[in-house]
Amino acid sequence: MMKSRSTIIAAIDIGSEKVTTLIANVQTELTDLSKVINVIGVAASESGEGRGIKKGQIVNLEEAVDAVIESVESAERMAGHNVTKAYLALGGAHILSQNSHGVVAISNPEGEITQADINRVIDAASAVSLPPSRVLIHVIPKEFIVDGDSGIKDPLRMEGVRLEAEAHLITASSSAVKNIEKVLDEVGIKVEEFIYSGIASSDAVLTKTEKELGCVMIDIGAGTTSIAVYEEGSLTYSYVLPIGSRNVTKDLATGLRVSLEAAEKIKLSLNPLREKKGTEAEEYLDLTKYDAGEDKKVSRKTVLEGIIRPRLNEIFSMVKTQLEKEKLINKIPSGAIITGGGAQVYGVEESGKRLLSLPVRIGKPHGVEGLVDEILNTSFSVPIGVLINASKKEPKDHLTSISKRLKLPTIGILAKLAKIFKDLLP
């Protein structure tokens, strides 16, 4: 009989359109260390500019706190646990990356490489000069070099005198990070670790073969588009574009002269699987069906070709520009994998193929079980990826059973009481 250990972890994604909270029970088999991630709590609350969040960044602290509380408390009620710590997805146009090199002498007189040597060379690679406005989020080893021999993934216990490391560093705006930490602190949650949204999506969607051969992960969110390029199994480039599927919605609202809410409904309704050829419904859209307030019909082709496609082409043109700038466009034979809420926009796959001249597929998340009926779609790739990434880190329990807490108030009430007391202090 296999023995297992159970750990509870929480993932929060503060996106431009929704705040998503996932709570999972991670079962680790102690004999082979295999893991099963069982989702036990799911919730998403509306975010956006009206609720303190714009393009993945906090623009109004109080409104953002309310949006996070709403999402977290709903997930808590479903899971029967109270969140005290969580892993946070981090996106936004402030994300930047660079590659670095570190070198150390092997400390063991007999020349055997120890874990301490590996830690030292990674520290050496991460010792880059950063301005006060930047903070280091990830240090990801790409490869190790032992006495000039490159391409080594794990040098532990190998023999040598000189150890080098090529690492990928991801940095973020320190103010953006502090603002998110402040929001979570107000809610009563400690940030265990930030995980770049591009890495999270990759963990949820990409296959090992795609990473080995070379591919680009394109996560089209509501306000931003995250890019993650993999070569020989390692992350080699990260970037975030300040444009997303919300721009498609705004274009529809402007072009059709309808509200943003109606434009969003129109965008989501344009699904090729729902079309019936040879009917008037296929050729024209009746705006009254989308609460547009106008009794008129518009050509479906005009909407698709004249409004949606130009914006999608712009997004992929910007992606291609970045890949060409970094000389990566010819190093990703596995092509582009598109995910995020924007992957559901009509024509996104065709635009990607045309503009990037690469194989393209839509990437749906996998790797979790439990309450997955509503979340195994592209718009939940980031929070699912955060869970997968967090499960690899052997975290401590992030939650305490509500029943064990003697039915104390949930974090929303506690946070507000703490704020009142704080305001009363001199």
Is 395's pLDDT higher than 60?
no
Share of the chain above pLDDT 70, in %: 87
Residue 1 is predicted with a pLDDT of 47
- The chain-wide mean pLDDT, for the chain, equals 88
Residue 288 is predicted with a pLDDT of 81
Side chain identity, residue 271: N
Residue 204 is predicted with a pLDDT of 97
Provide the pLDDT confidence category of residue 422 given band limits of 50, 70 and 90.
low
Residue 128 to residue 98: CA distance in whole angstroms: 10
Residue 88 to residue 13: CA distance in whole angstroms: 6
- The residues pairing with 234 across neighbouring beta strands, listed in sequence order, are 231
pLDDT tens digits along 38-63? 999 999 998 765 567 887 788 888 99
Vertex 280: Cα angle to 277 and 281 (nearest 5): 75
Residue 263 to residue 247: CA distance in whole angstroms: 11
pLDDT tens digits along 95-107? 999 999 999 999 9
Is 10's pLDDT higher than 70?
yes
Share of the chain above pLDDT 90, in %: 71
Mean pLDDT over 192-201 rounds to: 96
Provide the pLDDT confidence category of residue 424 given band limits of 50, 70 and 90.
low
pLDDT tens digits along 161-186? 999 999 999 999 999 999 999 999 99
pLDDT tens digits along 343-392? 999 999 999 999 999 999 999 999 999 999 989 999 999 999 999 999 98
> Can you give the three-state secondary structure of the chain, one letter per residue?
CCCEEEEEEEEEEECCCEEEEEEEEEEEECCCCCEEEEEEEEEEEECCHHHCEECCEECCHHHHHHHHHHHHHHHHHHHCEEECEEEEEECCCCCEEEEEEEEEECCCCCCECCHHHHHHHHHHHHCCCCCCCEEEEEEEEEEEEECCEEEECCCCCCECCEEEEEEEEEEEEHHHHHHHHHHHHHHCCEEEEEEEHHHHHHHHHCCHHHHHHCEEEEEECCCCEEEEEEECCEEEEEEEECCCHHHHHHHHHHHHCCCHHHHHHHHHHCCHHHCCCCCHHHHEEEHHHHCCCCCCEEEHHHHHHHHHHHHHHHHHHHHHHHHHHCCCCCCCCCCEEEECHHHHCCCHHHHHHHHHCCCEEECCCCCCEECCCCCCCHHHHHHHHHHHHHHCCCCCCCEEECCCCCCCCCHHHHHHHHHHHHHHCC
Q: Is the dihedral of CA 177, 179, 180, 186 positive or negative?
A: positive
Residue 34 is predicted with a pLDDT of 81
Mean pLDDT over 218-238 rounds to: 96
More confident call, 209 vs 291 = 209
Residue 331's φ and ψ, nearest 5 degrees, are -115, 15
Residue with tokens 């007189």: 109
Residue 339 to residue 202: CA distance in whole angstroms: 9
Residue 394 is predicted with a pLDDT of 57
Residue with tokens 């967090």: 390
> Where along the chain do the CATH 3.30.420.40 domains lie?
4-93+175-208+365-424
Mean pLDDT over 197-212 rounds to: 96
How many residues can be counted in the chain? 426
Residue 227 to residue 323: CA distance in whole angstroms: 9
Note the CATH number of domain 4-93+175-208+365-424. Answer: 3.30.420.40
Residue 343 is predicted with a pLDDT of 95
**Cβ atoms of 78 and 141 closer than 8 Å:** no
Residue 422 to residue 264: CA distance in whole angstroms: 41
Mean pLDDT over 3-26 rounds to: 92
Residue 276 is predicted with a pLDDT of 47
What's 96-173's CATH class? alpha beta
More confident call, 125 vs 300 = 125
Provide the pLDDT confidence category of residue 29 given band limits of 50, 70 and 90.
confident
What are the structure tokens assigned to 102, written together? 């570190």
More confident call, 285 vs 201 = 201
> Rounded to two decimals, what is the model's pTM?
0.88
More confident call, 71 vs 404 = 71
Is 325's pLDDT higher than 90?
yes
What are the structure tokens assigned to 200, written together? 């999270």
Residue 413 is predicted with a pLDDT of 53
pLDDT tens digits along 398-420? 444 333 333 344 445 555 555 55
Residue 48 is predicted with a pLDDT of 62
What are the structure tokens assigned to 159, written together? 């023999």
